[in-house]
Amino acid sequence: MPDTSRPDSDFVANFQIDQRPVRGRAVRMGAGSLSPILHRHDYPPHLARVLGEAVTLAAMVGASLKFEGRILVQAEGDGPVSMLVGEYRTDGGVRGYAKFDADRWAHLEKVNKGAAPHMPQLFGPGGRLALILIQDDPSVAPYQGIVPLVKGTLSECAEDYFTMSEQVPSRIKLAIAELDRKGEAPIWVSGGMMVQRIAADEARGDTSDVWNEAEALFGTLSDAELVDPDLAMPDLLFRLFHEQGVRLEDSVSLEDSCTCNEERLIATLKSMPDDSLRDMVEPDGTLAIDCQFCARHYSVPIEKVTGPVS
């Protein structure tokens, strides 16, 4: 189990509030997962923060998956940011990337005078958030749920997703920070927490009062607490819910890990028309491809894809 007392520990775990119809999940990411992703891409700081939130959200939601596979938190629209993806796999691997227009982004930052942009500013009035579940079993079709990106933050839009698509009242908080460490390079860290109401039944009765209490306690959680290097997650949970009793369950380790490889790339290229591929050929007879997630560069000889060029 990772050392959850450090800001660069990388894990996601469920937690239980004793004898309460409320379930929760907590995540922290840093040197082994989120930081290399954000430093690799070197996005503008506000965009890096939103991408970090998407990756953190993917890990937090994905830890509940009951199958082998992955979840994508995907935001898209016609604003300065056209696409943003955070991915979590059930082996603990995470990755992410964003596509944005540099000129439109510069204009947005000028308009906002340094303030963080809200979701409609980033993705436009028609922006949408999708949570896409993909099983490793190819016989099972992916599942996708979509909500509009109309709220100010990604966490608020994610709450809308669970309320509208899953009919599960949820509260979600995400926090991102870049920490300066004496004598060391800065590190991006994130923290996330969510609580969800469990529906009433004959055994539990009406759960509304207990849920309202949990919401009120959750509302006291601050960004600083979520990323505090000196506040271990079990201690943070005790601070929030000690009167009810709370325990953190076994965690899943998270790591920066991409699934790209040349074999998979060649299979994808073979599905494209030969004429299109030959238009992409470099002077040395190769196809130059960069992975959008990990930025790994591939040089694939055209003969491996279409056969010899006539």
Cα–Cα distance for residue pair 23/73, rounded to 1 Å? 21
What was the pLDDT predicted at 5?
Answer: 38
pLDDT per residue over 215-255, tens digit each? 999 999 999 999 998 899 999 999 999 877 898 999 999 99
Q: Is residue 3 part of a domain?
A: no
∠ CA 83-223-81, rounded to 5°? 15
- 1, part of any domain: no
Tokens matching residue 198: 């469990």
In a domain? residue 104: yes
**Number of domains the chain is built from:** 2
263-271 mean pLDDT:
82
- Give the angle subtended at the CA of 248 by the CAs of 247 and 250, to the nearest 5°: 135
- Across all residues in the chain, what is the average pLDDT? 89
| DSSP per-residue letters across 76-100 | E-SSSEEEEEEEEETTSEEEEEEEE
Task: Note whether residue 6 is domain-resident.
Answer: no
| Whether 290 and 147 share a structural domain | no
Same domain, yes or no, for 294 and 228? no
Whether 66 and 207 share a structural domain? yes
Q: Is 129 contained in some domain?
A: yes
Structure tokens at 256: 């920066």
Structural domain of residue 281, as residue ranges?
Answer: 262-304
Contacts of 41 (CB under 8 A, 6+ apart): 48, 51, 97, 98, 295
Q: Domain boundary residue among 256, 274, 289? A: 256
User: pLDDT exceeding 90 applies to what percent of the chain?
Assistant: 63
Burial 229-257 (b: 16+ CB within 10 A, else e): bebbbbbbbeebbeebebebeebbebebb
Residues for the chain: how many in total? 310
CATH of the domain at 296: 3.90.1280.10
Is the pLDDT at 303 greater than 70, yes or no? Answer: yes
- Report the range of poorest mean pLDDT among 8-17, 35-44, 160-169, 275-284: 275-284
Alpha carbons 23 and 194: distance in angstroms, whole number: 8
Residue 310 has pLDDT above 60, yes or no: no
Q: Is residue 86 part of a domain?
A: yes
